[in-house]
A and B are shown apart, each in its own frame.
Chain A
């Protein structure tokens, strides 16, 4: 059972006020407990938690490079095994580190079958270096490398299906969750850690600075992502979806309107075709994961 009073991610870290990733770090370490070694990739969480000689971590923590957290964790896990030790190895990496540059190390580590939990805190762009798009950036989001303007509505490509990729590697447990649902998040992290083999948890972690909203809205926006079907919380066991959070879906507009990265879809003129394209993404998600709660007909 998760001890909710446990605080292993301390005060004094330098994340923006209202940072979703900082909250994710707090909840993940609560769920993981004291017998844990955390490996971080370069990115916001690494930078805001450990400006030398300070550290917010109260469990052993290591950072090497942007691209190699899965390789570092592999080495640690192999060494612990050889020594007969039982610490749990948990990786905390951003979406850029996970979806893009870390892919080779991740693929190798999952193939080798290390016993670790890989957690991606997904803020849907490279935030630490100034909001560049990643493979996790959603369709039409404006970033500094996919700017909306006269010739473009922002990021042209849909979000990469990372959970599916890792399920295809034979991962025994893959889950998606969100900081807006703390109990769900902590339960999934705990389950991943207690499942043998390489497990993956992807956490939706809104970023007020990169997405353009006030810090107080972080939880509300994370909830709207779920309520519109643009983010689905689900679990995959041995490659099969076994559970997905059901919702009475709201139109995607309610989510898009809250963030500056989608402002060009409403101003100066409303872009009906683009909004419809994003609604179609939510509709496909709803169909694929069966999340719609059907209300009784009048």
Chain B
């Protein structure tokens, strides 16, 4: 591998690394129970949850590691963790 001067890298180049493949459990969001409080967005260590156009929240499964923080902290208990089938 050739190194760039100063070992510099393009901002956000980490997106090349699709950490979703690490996932053992998948968070599944229940639209009915969601109050759109935004807590899951704030607390996700990956920063991979965002609001959709109809103001629902959804994780980006390309990067979600399935840590379960969103499910544990959701005040409405609106997120379930389902085992991935591989």
- Residues of A at the B interface (CB closer than 8 Å) are 4, 7, 9-15, 17-20, 22-23, 26, 49-59, 182, 214-220
Contacts and interface: CB of A to CB of B under 8 A. Distances in A.
A219 B9 contact: no
B48 interface: yes
Contacts of B73: 219-220
B15 A52 contact: no
19 contacts: A11-B48, A12-B15, A12-B19, A13-B46, A17-B66, A17-B67, A53-B4, A54-B17, A55-B14, A57-B11, A57-B12, A59-B11, A215-B67, A215-B69, A216-B68, A218-B67, A218-B69, A219-B73, A220-B72
Interface residues of B, number: 35
Nearest to A26: B47
Given A12-B63, A58-B12, A215-B69, A52 B19 contact: no
A17 B69 CA distance: 9
Nearest to B81: A216
Interface in B37-86: 42-48, 60, 62-63, 65-69, 71-73, 81
A14 B16 CA distance: 11
Given A14-B17, A53-B7, A216-B71, 11 more contacts: A11-B14, A11-B15, A11-B46, A12-B14, A12-B18, A17-B45, A17-B66, A22-B45, A214-B68, A215-B65, A218-B67
Interface of B: 1, 3-4, 7, 9-19, 22, 42-48, 60, 62-63, 65-69, 71-73, 81
B12 A10 contact: yes
The secondary structure that dominates the A interface is loop
Contacts, number: 103
Contact of B13 (A26, A55, A59): A55
A18 B68 contact: yes
